[in-house]
Structures are given as structure tokens and as C-alpha cells.
């Protein structure tokens, strides 16, 4: 039905005639452009006329279009700011032209050139507008926008990154309603690349399409959604009323991954997502800042727990800026001679003499001071500078160690840490050999340390590179052993000759039976494979003594020396004692008894009772003190009170059984806790239970019997070992 214009708007044209309504309608129907006329009123902008071309092009009948809002042709992925610009122009009676992603009645999208003009006499607000809708192809769209790239992602139909930025900036430029909060979510689907690699890109595309549809269903037009990268999506929520709303959306997104995706028929896979959240509370902020903050938060989420989110905060931004500044400084650190090597001595567990050095890289930063590798090595790996730093450390370690040998200060191998990036380079073998040749260091005076994960990730190439170096005499060690892969097959690799036990197992080795058991197992396994063992992180004499008694070969840690500068190392070498005397003749071979009680008067009374015997008597007032003594001293029998604060006697003897199974264990208590004692005896934690007050003669007899029990067990074990050796 054609619009009936009022008298002013239906005046005769300059030709002097009046056009009949049917003639005007026929003329508009004959137009190749889709034409509509809309009336702007309080109820919105309503269509009052549509020509045949428009109806055919959009799949709507003319009757369906009459009375509808002129945005009926827009769909879920039509750029929102475009709709608002058209709306503003229509209400203000202003001509406007816009590239529009329109939708037909069945939901098929198509690009159109949308031109809006006021009807004659309707230039003021509240009149009638005439609009034309003409489809355009990609070439026309590029010519119109001056950009060869469309604003929509070709796979999902979502906006792309430039369009998302444009939308955010548009909303921010209009000013935020009081109390509203614009929020951006940056989502990354974890491990989608593995699907592309294994099943092909068509399978990965199917997941992306399915996920984009699910996002649409969650937000239902309340957000601007974009695919801004291969597996990355952005969701902009222009005006949340409460910050808590965003967490409801995040929960719904993460729940999408509770159900497996189907990359291709018959194959299901579970995926996870990492989400970064950024909110703006300053109207002047722009899209680029919002995206930058969300990206930082997303990166933090990726580094923590998968299928999680992280909200941007100022501290995260500060750390990011500091890291960026560090990255720039690192590029010039070698040129400015700011890098240096420190050396930490390794000592023979039995003689305590220096038997090796580990070269450790330090950065003498002009402003931040001396920085350890944990600060700058990750940055070096990100920038690729790890190759230059690794080559520097290798050459300097070889040069300095050769200098020590030439000056007769020390003749031991030097260990150098190797990065995975270095190890996988085809030129790595030549780089090592060139460093040895240039510095004059013998190959057997160099040890290369690699981690378990490096060897597993680069198995075939690592075997070839390290095997060739081993043939030349270079030593190979596995660093941080016990913290990487559980698959021990790589230990069969011929080049590996040293295992370094990670310090996390050493810290509580004299107190935690689990750590003690792991350390003993590693040592036994390594020796059976004809490997030597280095324990890292040794900080106390108790730890050193325990490791020595359990046949660890080499010790390294702050108890002996922290990493030293070249000057400090040389001063230390001039003063170091090359060996350490063992126990004095007065105590050597003497039976040793440890008494444990938190009451010192009880300890004194026990010592008096047993003074006339041929025992060497040690005393401790707590379980922790007893464990320290046991690590330093060779003890044969232990007598402990049951009721002690922090650690009971039963608990102490249980640990002693696990860590030092040969020691004979006795409880001496004034309280009879039948269930506890029975359980301890049944588990083998204690050998005898004696009560207070004691009879002196009876106590001496029990102690003597305990030592005989120890001697009998020791003799039986030695005879068994002799038979095993004879049979080999």
C-alpha cells in the first residue's frame, strides 16, 4: 500500500501535474532497487510502504513488512553501531548511507548498500524517510569501504577484530550511561591446534562453527561477538548494570566445555578455554586498551589452570610493563657485557672435596642489580635470545675452567645448563666442539645438563646430538631428576651418565619418609644403571650425612657454597680443605644409643643408668632434634618417650623405621595406650615397649638385647650380600 502524503507533501511538481497513487506505486515496483518508506514517530520507525523488489529480495511479503521496524532486515551479526547510526539519521531527518549486513526472512545474510533520505518536506525530525536496499558483492564492498577485508569472519560469520574494535570505540565515544560497566571477554579454545593437526582443518572449523553458535545462544543479542583469531573470540558487553553479571556469563561459557565436541562423525573430544576479563570505568579509554588488558588476563589464565578465567588488574599490567622493559634491556645485555657466570662447587659426598663446578648465568643489570636466571631466562626464550645467552655461557664456562686447570687451581669438570632450543638445533654438536677447540678445554672436563622434559620432547634428536657428544668425551647429566616425566625409558640412552636429584626431594629428606624413600630409590636405580648421582639443594649437615650414608656420590648446595664469582671461587680454592677427617678414634666403631625425651631430667636419669655401659650416648629433646641427629650420626638403638609435644614417640619411630630401617626402636612411657602400642608393634614400628619408672638392671638388659638384635641383623645382611656376590 502506498503512503498517502499530506497536502504539503503532495503538491504538484513543477511540471504542473499530480501523480496518481497507482502510477507512483507502479513506478516504485519497477525499480531495480529495493525501496521502502518509513514513518518516524513515538512508536519507532515503522515501514509504511515496500516495493516488490524489496519483498522479493528479502523473502517477506509486503503485508508482513507494513508496520514493522525498518531494522527488520538486520540480524544477530549485523554491526550494532550501524543500526544505531541509521536509527539516528532517520529520527533526525538526515540523509545517510551505510554498508549493511542484511538478512532475508529465512536468515540468509547478504551485504547491501543501504541509502536513507528524507521524503520531500520531511527534512525535520519526525517525518518520513525513503530508503533503498541494494545488494553488493565483495569487490563493491571493498571499493566502498576502502578496505579489501570485510568486517566479518568468513567461517563463522561473526565480526572480525577490526570490526570489534570499531564497535567498542563507537560505544565508548557515545559516553557510558551512569552506573554502566563495559566489559570485554577474550576467550581462547585450548589445544584446538591439535585437532587441526590430527584430524585436519575441516574438523577444527566444525568446532569453531559450533562454538560460535553456542556463544550466540548464550548472549542472545546482548553482546557484540567476534572471532578475532584462529581459536580466539571476543565478547563485548557494552553496558552491564552489575559486575557480577559477567561471572554468570563466564560460568555458562565454561560449562559449554563440560560436553565433548564432535570434530567429525564418530570422534568426540573434550576441550577447555582460557578467558581474560577486562572492564573499563573511564569513558576516555579505547578498544585497544581493553583488548590489551583482556589479553594479559587471558595469558595469566592460560598459565594457571585450564578452563578458567582471570580478571585484569593493575598489578598484572605493571608486571607486564616491567617484563616488556626487561625484554628490551636483555637485547643489549651481552653487548654491554652485563652477563657473567658464577660457579657453585660440587663436593664428593665421602671426602667433601670439590669434584665439580656448575656454571650459573647471572645478569648484572645496571638498575635492578644482580638477577638470577629465573627472572630473565623465560624472557630470553620468548625473544629467541636464549641461543646467544646459551652460547655465551658455554664458551665462558669452557674458557674459565681451562684457566683454572692451567693455573693448577682446580682440575674438575664444569657443568653447563643447556636449553631445549639449543639442543634441537642441527648445529648444536658443532657449537659445543667449537667452544672446546677455541678454549682448549678437554672434552671430559665439560658436562652438559639437560632436563627430563627436554629429552622426552626431543627424544630422537636429543639421542643423536648427545650421543655424538658423549663419543667425543663430553659428559651428559639429567638435571632436576624426579620432577619431569614418569616414563623412565629415556634412561636407557647411552649418553646419560649422571642424575641430579631435584632439591625438592632433599629439603625434607631427613624428616619425611616419602622423600627419603624416593631419594634412596633414585640412588639405587642410578647405581644399577652405572650412573653417578648428584644431590642438589643440600643446606644442612643432616642432609649431607644422610645422603653420604645412602651412597649418594656428589653433593651441591648452600651448605657447602653458594654460587661464587670468579674472584670469590679462586679465594675459596686457595683456602679450601681438600678432605675432612672422619670420626675420632674415641668414637669410631662404638655402639651408639640415642635417648629422646622432652624432659631433660628424664634424659639425665637415663644417661646415668646407662653410663657404665660401653655405649656412646646421644640425647634429643624433640622428634625434630632426634631426626637431625640421626641424619648426622650413625645410631644403632633409639629409646623414645611416647608423649612429647608436636611429635609423639610412635610417630617418631615410625619415621625412623621408614628412613633408617636398621635402627632398633624402643618406646619408654609412663602411660599405657594399649591400642596405639599394639598397632605400632604390629606394624613393626617398635621393637620393645618399656614403662616408667624403670628398673635399672632390667633397662640395661633390654638395651643390651637391642644391640645384639642389631648386630644379628647386620651380620645376616652381610652374609646374604656375600652369597649374592659369590653367585655373580
* Dihedral of the alpha carbons of 238, 241, 243, 245, in degrees to the nearest 10: -90
Predicted confidence band of residue 3 (pLDDT cuts 50, 70, 90): very low
Q: What is the DSSP string of 252-303?
A: HHHHGGGSPEEEETTEEE--EEEEEEEE---TT--HHHHHHHHHHHHHHHHH
CA–CA gap between residue 571 and residue 574 (Å, rounded) = 5
Q: In this structure, are 82 and 29 located in the same domain?
A: yes
Q: What percent of the chain has pLDDT over 70?
A: 80
Q: Does 616 lie in the same domain as 487?
A: no
pLDDT of residue 343: 96
- Residues 271 and 360 both lie in one domain: no
Q: Same domain for 440 and 566?
A: yes
Residue 585 has pLDDT above 50, yes or no: no
Instruction: Confirm whether 47 is domain-assigned.
Output: yes
Distance CA 711, CA 662 (A): 10
Q: What is the CATH number of the domain that holds 136?
A: 3.30.450.20
**Is 703 found in the same domain as 566?**
no
In the chain, count H helices and then E strands.
25, 26
Q: Is the pLDDT of residue 556 over 80?
A: yes
DSSP notation for 452-521: HHHHHHTHHHHHHHHHHHHHTT-EEEEEEETSS-S-GGGGG-TTEEEEEE-GGGTTTTTT-HHHHHHHHH
Reported as a single tens digit per residue, the pLDDT across 667-704 is 887 765 666 666 666 666 678 888 888 888 888 888 88
Predicted pLDDT of residue 15:
41
CA 236, 242, 245, 246 dihedral sign is positive
Give the torsion sign (CA, 372, 373, 374, 378). Answer: positive
Pairing of strands 128-135, 109-118: antiparallel
Please name the residues in contact with 1: beta carbons below 8 A apart, sequence gap of 6 or more.
48, 49, 62, 66
435 and 554 in a single domain? The answer is yes
Domain total of the chain: 4
720 pLDDT higher than 60: no
Final residue before a domain boundary, out of 312, 346, 361? 312
**Cell numbers standing for residue 233:** 573470540
3-state secondary structure at position 590: coil
Q: Minimum mean pLDDT among 13-22, 311-320, 369-378, 401-410: which range?
A: 13-22
Residue 14 covered by a domain = no
pLDDT digits (tens, 9 = 90+) for 474-489: 999 988 786 655 556 6
Residues 212 and 125 in one domain: no
- Cβ atoms of 537 and 479 within 8 Å: the answer is no
* Class of residue 202 by CB neighbours under 10 A (exposed 0-12, middle 13-18, buried 19+): exposed
442 and 348 within one domain: yes
What is the DSSP code (8-state) at residue 2? Answer: -
The answer to whether 317 and 296 are in contact (CB under 8 A) is yes
Looking at the structure, tell me whether residues 558 and 623 fall in a common domain: no
CATH number, residue 702? 3.40.50.2300
Mean pLDDT, range 16-29, rounded to an integer: 66
> In terms of Cα–Cα distance, which of 112, 106, 40, 44 is closest to 78?
112
pLDDT of 726 reads: 47
Is the same domain home to 359 and 302? no
Query: Is residue 596 within 8 Å of 623, Cβ to Cβ?
Result: yes
Q: Which residues, 6 or more positions from 46, have their beta carbon under 8 angstroms from its beta carbon?
A: 38, 39, 67, 68, 69, 70
Domain presence at residue 153: no
Q: What pLDDT score was predicted for residue 117? A: 87
Looking at the fold, whether 550 and 670 belong to one and the same domain comes out as no
Residue at 581 is within a domain: no
Q: Which tens digits make up the pLDDT trace of 230-256?
A: 889 999 987 777 767 888 888 889 888
Mean pLDDT for 510-520 is 87
pLDDT band at 19 (very low <50, low <70, confident <90, very high): low
b/e sequence 306-344, b meaning 16+ C-beta within 10 Å = ebebbbbeeebbeebeeeeebeebbeebeeeebbbbbbb
Residue 327 falls inside a structural domain: no
> Is there a domain that residue 299 lies in?
yes
Q: Is the per-residue pLDDT at 6 higher than 50?
A: no
How confident is the model over 591-644, as pLDDT tens digits? 889 999 988 888 888 888 887 567 788 999 999 899 888 888 889 999 998 888
Domain with 504 in it? 338-575
Residue 511, domain CATH: 3.20.20.450
SS3 content of the chain, % helix, strand, coil (to 5): 45, 25, 30
Is residue 329 in a domain? no
- Radius of gyration in angstroms for the set of CA atoms belonging to the chain, rounded to a whole number: 40
The SS3 call for residue 204 is helix
Do 494 and 607 reside in the same domain of the chain? Answer: no
Helix boundaries (H) for 594-648: 600-610, 623-632
Residue 319 lies in a domain: no
**Spatial distance between the Cα atoms of 425 and 588, rounded to a whole number of angstroms:** 55
Amino acid at each position: 500500500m502506498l503512503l498517502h502524503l499530506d497536502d504539503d507533501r503532495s503538491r504538484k511538481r513543477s511540471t504542473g501535474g499530480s501523480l496518481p497513487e497507482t502510477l507512483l506505486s507502479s513506478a516504485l515496483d519497477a525499480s531495480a532497487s529495493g525501496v521502502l518508506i518509513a514513518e518516524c514517530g513515538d512508536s519507532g520507525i515503522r515501514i509504511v510502504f515496500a516495493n516488490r523488489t524489496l519483498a522479493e529480495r528479502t523473502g517477506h511479503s509486503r503485508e508482513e513488512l507494513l508496520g514493522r521496524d525498518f531494522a527488520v532486515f538486520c540480524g544477530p551479526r549485523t554491526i550494532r553501531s550501524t543500526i544505531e547510526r541509521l536509527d539516528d539519521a532517520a529520527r533526525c531527518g538526515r540523509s545517510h548511507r551505510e554498508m549493511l549486513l542484511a538478512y532475508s526472512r529465512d536468515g540468509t545474510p547478504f551485504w547491501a548498500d543501504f541509502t536513507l533520505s528524507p521524503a520531500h518536506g520531511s527534512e525535520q525530525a519526525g517525518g518520513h524517510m525513503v530508503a533503498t536496499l541494494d545488494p553488493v558483492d565483495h569487490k563493491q564492498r571493498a571499493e566502498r569501504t576502502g578496505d579489501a577485508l570485510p568486517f566479518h569472519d568468513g567461517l563463522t560469520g561473526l565480526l572480525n577484530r577490526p570490526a570489534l574494535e570499531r564497535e567498542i570505540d563507537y560505544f565508548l565515544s557515545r559516553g557510558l550511561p551512569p552506573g554502566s560497566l563495559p566489559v570485554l571477554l577474550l576467550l581462547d579454545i585450548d589445544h584446538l591446534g591439535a585437532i587441526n593437526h590430527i584430524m585436519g582443518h575441516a574438523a577444527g572449523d566444525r568446532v569453531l562453527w559450533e562454538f560460535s553458535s553456542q556463544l550466540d545462544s548464550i548472549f542472545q543479542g546482548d553482546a557484540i561477538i567476534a572471532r578475532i583469531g584462529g581459536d580466539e573470540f571476543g565478547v563485548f558487553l557494552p553496558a552491564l548494570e552489575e559486575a557480577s553479571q559477567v561471572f554468570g556469563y563466564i560460568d555458562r561459557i565454561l560449562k559449554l566445555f563440560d560436553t565433548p565436541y564432535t570434530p567429525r562423525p564418530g570422534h568426540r573430544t573434550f576441550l577447555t578455554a582460557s578467558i581474560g576479563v577486562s572492564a573499563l570505568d573511564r569513558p576516555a579509554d579505547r578498544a585497544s586498551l581493553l583488548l590489551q588488558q583482556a589479553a594479559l588476563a587471558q595469558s595469566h589464565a592460560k598459565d594457571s589452570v585450564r578452563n578458567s578465567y582471570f580478571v585484569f588488574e593493575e598489578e598484572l599490567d605493571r608486571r607486564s610493563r616491567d617484563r616488556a622493559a626487561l625484554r628490551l634491556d636483555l637485547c643489549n645485555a651481552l653487548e654491554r657485557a652485563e652477563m657473567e657466570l658464577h660457579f657453585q662447587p660440587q663436593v664428593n659426598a665421602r671426602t667433601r672435596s670439590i669434584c665439580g663446578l656448575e656454571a650459573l648465568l647471572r645478569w648484572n643489570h645496571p638498575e635492578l642489580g644482580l638477577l638470577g636466571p629465573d627472572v630473565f631466562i623465560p624472557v630470553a626464550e620468548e625473544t629467541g635470545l636464549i641461543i646467544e645467552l646459551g652460547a655465551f655461557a658455554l664458551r665462558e664456562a669452557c674458557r674459565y675452567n681451562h684457566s683454572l686447570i692451567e693455573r693448577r687451581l682446580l682440575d674438575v669438570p664444569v657443568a653447563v645448563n643447556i636449553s631445549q632450543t639449543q639442543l634441537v638445533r642441527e648445529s648444536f654438536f658443532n657449537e659445543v666442539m667449537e667452544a672446546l677447540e677455541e678454549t682448549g678445554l678437554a672434552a671430559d672436563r665439560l658436562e652438559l645438563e639437560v632436563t627430563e622434559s627436554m629429552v622426552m620432547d626431543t627424544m630422537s634428536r636429543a639421542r643423536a646430538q648427545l650421543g655424538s657428544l658423549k663419543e667425543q668425551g663430553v659428559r651428559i647429566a639429567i638435571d632436576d631428576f624426579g620432577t619431569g616425566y614418569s616414563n623412565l625409558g629415556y634412561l636407557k640412552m647411552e649418553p646419560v651418565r649422571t642424575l641430579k636429584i631435584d632439591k625438592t626431594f632433599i629439603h625434607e629428606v631427613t624428616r619425611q619418609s616419602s622423600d627419603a624413600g624416593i631419594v634412596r630409590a633414585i640412588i639405587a636405580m642410578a647405581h644399577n644403571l652405572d650412573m653417578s648421582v648428584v644431590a642438589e639443594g643440600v643446606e644442612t649437615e643432616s642432609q649431607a650425612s644422610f645422603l653420604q650414608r645412602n651412597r649418594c656420590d656428589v653433593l651441591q648446595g648452600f651448605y657447602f657454597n653458594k654460587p661464587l664469582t670468579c674472584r670469590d671461587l679462586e679465594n675459596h680454592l686457595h683456602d679450601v680443605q681438600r678432605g675432612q677427617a672422619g670420626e675420632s678414634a674415641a668414637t669410631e666403631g662404638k655402639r651408639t644409643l640415642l635417648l629422646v625425651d622432652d624432659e631433660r631430667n628424664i634424659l639425665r636419669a637415663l644417661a646415668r643408668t646407662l653410663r657404665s655401659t660401653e655405649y656412646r650416648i646421644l640425647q634429643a629433646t624433640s622428634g625434630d632434634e632426634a631426626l637431625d641427629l640421626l641424619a648426622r650420626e650413625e645410631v644403632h638403638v633409639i629409646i623414645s618417650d611416647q608423649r612429647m609435644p608436636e611429635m609423639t614417640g610412635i610417630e617418631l619411630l615410625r619415621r625412623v623405621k621408614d628412613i633408617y630401617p636398621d635402627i632398633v626402636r624402643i618406646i619408654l612411657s609412663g602411660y599405657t595406650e594399649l591400642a596405639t602400642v599394639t598397632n605400632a608393634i604390629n606394624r613393626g614400628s617398635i621393637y620393645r615397649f618399656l614403662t616408667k619408672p624403670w628398673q635399672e638392671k632390667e633397662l640395661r638388659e633390654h638395651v643390651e638385647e637391642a644391640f645384639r638384635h642389631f648386630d644379628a641383623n647386620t651380620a645376616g645382611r652381610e652374609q646374604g650380600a656375600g652369597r649374592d656376590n659369590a653367585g655373580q
